[in-house]
A = this chain, B = another copy of it.
Amino acid sequence: MAKATSISMSVIRRLPRYYRFLGDLERKGITRISSAELSDLLGLTASQIRQDLNCFGGFGQQGYGYSVKQLREEIMKILGLDHPSDAILIGAGNMGRALVGQLDFAGRGVRLIAVFDNDPALFGRRIGDYTVRSMDELDEFCKGSSPKMAVVAVPRDNAPEVVDRLLALGIRAFWNFSHYDIPSADTNVIVENVHLGDSLMTLSYRMKAEASSKL
């Protein structure tokens, strides 16, 4: 993995998409694919794809294309999906429940090990394979299990306090659904903010631009 730190973030951000599409191909029983076919599928140029994959040593053979299985496995290793990190989920509301119910954490390189909430009505309730714990147990749990990642699915107003507590407990990576911008001036702290509202605004814009181009 040490070498991987030199790969640009724009390449890294495309890898999960490659990984996902290659998984679809594997499920369909397709074993080989050319960069031209990958290009059609992904909406990227074939040269872009060759460039991206060359960053990791280039698995393709001229004229033979890529082995779907091998390429997918290499990307899996580059993304570190074979060595999952422990994470905790803070917030067992609708968003937290939707994430636990719909997302294959393990397949994305993350082992979810506990779920916390501050609402006594939820303590002890089951969410998938997890039992909701009280935030009062957070410190002891983190000292025992040392998770390094947290999924923050709490309301915006609660987020600053929750994040401060998690930082003090050694959490260094945040998957953030709270709409509170976690300060990331500290370069040891890694944040992926999920801003669903931005995605909705973009869709709204594209729809109107499309309609007006027809006038």
Closest chain-B Cβ to A188's Cβ sits at a distance in Å of 7
Taking a contact as CB atoms under 8 Å apart, the answer to whether B192 and A203 are in contact is yes
Question: What's the Cα separation between A76 and B15 when bound, in Å?
Answer: 33
Taking a contact as CB atoms under 8 Å apart, the answer to whether A192 and B196 are in contact is no
With contact pairs A103-B200, A200-B105, A200-B110 given, residues A80 and B205 touching in the complex (Cβ less than 8 Å) = yes
Taking a contact as CB atoms under 8 Å apart, the answer to whether B98 and A93 are in contact is yes
**Set B20, B99, B190: member contacting A198, Cβ < 8 A:** B20
Taking a contact as CB atoms under 8 Å apart, the answer to whether B212 and A1 are in contact is yes
List residues 108-139 of chain A with CB under 8 A from any CB of chain B: 108-110
**Set B84, B174, B188: member contacting A210, Cβ < 8 A:** B188
List residues 194-212 of chain A with CB under 8 A from any CB of chain B: 194-210, 212
Q: Does A148 make an interface contact (CB < 8 A)?
A: yes
Could you say which residues of chain B place their CB within 8 Å of the CB of A207? 85, 148-149, 172-173, 190
Question: What's the Cα separation between A85 and B194 when bound, in Å?
Answer: 23
Closest Cβ neighbor of A205 among chain B residues? B79
Taking a contact as CB atoms under 8 Å apart, the answer to whether B208 and A83 are in contact is yes
Could you say which residues of chain B place their CB within 8 Å of the CB of A110? 200, 203-204
Contact with B along A84-112 (1 / 0, CB 8 A): 11000000011101110111110111100
Taking a contact as CB atoms under 8 Å apart, the answer to whether A201 and B2 are in contact is no
Write the residues of chain A forming the contact surface with B, with a CB cutoff of 8 angstroms.
Answer: 1-2, 4-5, 12-13, 15-17, 19-20, 24, 78-81, 83-85, 93-95, 97-99, 101-105, 107-110, 148-149, 155, 172-175, 179, 181, 188, 190, 192, 194-210, 212-213, 215
Give me the 4 closest cross-chain CB pairs, A-B, nearest first: A109-B204, A94-B98, A16-B198, A95-B98
